Amino acid sequence: MTLKYIITQLVTLAIVGGIMGLVAWVKIPRATPPLDEAEVKRRLAEDFPQTPLDQIWLALDGRGAVARSGDLALLLFRLGDSYVSRSMAWSQALQAEAIKGRFCFKFNDFAAPKASLALAPNWAKAAMGETI
C-alpha cells in the first residue's frame, strides 16, 4: 500500500465528510408530517396490497404505526425521511417490550432487525380487547 494511495483515500474521506456536512446544513429532505390513519393505510396498501386492515394504532409521535390484519401485525416505522414496513405474527407483536416509553418490535430479519415505536402504554391491552 503506497503513501499515494493512503493520501488519496484520506482526501476521498474528507470530501465525503464535506458533502455529508453540506447535506446536513442545507436540509433538503422530504417533508415528513406526522402520520395519520389515511396515510398509514395508503403506505401499507403499497407494501401489503390486498391485505385488509382491522385496526390501526398510531405512534404518539406520528413516526410509525401498528396495524392488525387478522393474525398478522403490519408495522410501519420511520427511517430518516422515509418509511419501512414489516409484518410479524400478531401474537408476537403484542409481546413487544416497552423501553423508556417505546415499544421494541423484533423481527427475524437481518435486513431490518427491529422497530421502535412510541405507542400508547396500554396499546397492547386495548388491542387485546378489540373484537375482530
Partner 1 sequence: MAAPTVPAIDPVTLAVPFFILAIVLEILLARFGKVKAVYEAKDTATSLLMGFGSGIAGLLTGGVVFAASVWVYNYRLFDIPMSAAWAWLAIFLLEDLTYYWFHRLSHERRFWWAAHVNHHTSQHYNLATALRQTWTGGAAGTWALWLPLSLLGFPPAMIAIQKGISLVFQFWIHTEAVRRLPVWVEALFNTPSHHRVHHARNPRYLDSNYAGILIIWDRMFGTFVPELDEEPCRYGVVKNLGDFNIFRVAFHEWVGIFSDLLTAKSLREALGYLFGAPGWSPDGSRQTSTMLKAQWAEMQTAEPVKTDPAAAS
- Which parts of this chain interact with partner 1 (CB under 8 A)? 9, 12-13, 15-16, 19-20, 22-24, 26, 28-30, 46, 49-50, 77, 79-82, 84-86, 107, 109-115
Contact (CB, 8 A) for 104 and 116: yes
Q: How many residues does the chain have?
A: 132
CA-CA distances (angstroms) from residue 6 to 17, 19, 20, 92? 16, 20, 21, 49
As measured in angstroms, the least distance from the Cβ of 128 to partner 1 is 26
Using the minimum distance from each CB to partner 1, give the nearer residue, 76 or 126: 76
Q: Indicate the residue among 21 and 34 with the shorter CB distance to partner 1.
A: 21
Which of 106/125 has CB closer to partner 1? 106
Closest to 96 (Cα-Cα) out of 128, 52, 54, 69? 128
**CB 125 → partner 1: shortest distance, Å?**
27
Which CB sits closer to partner 1, 47 or 61? 47
Residues forming a β-bridge with 67: 56, 74
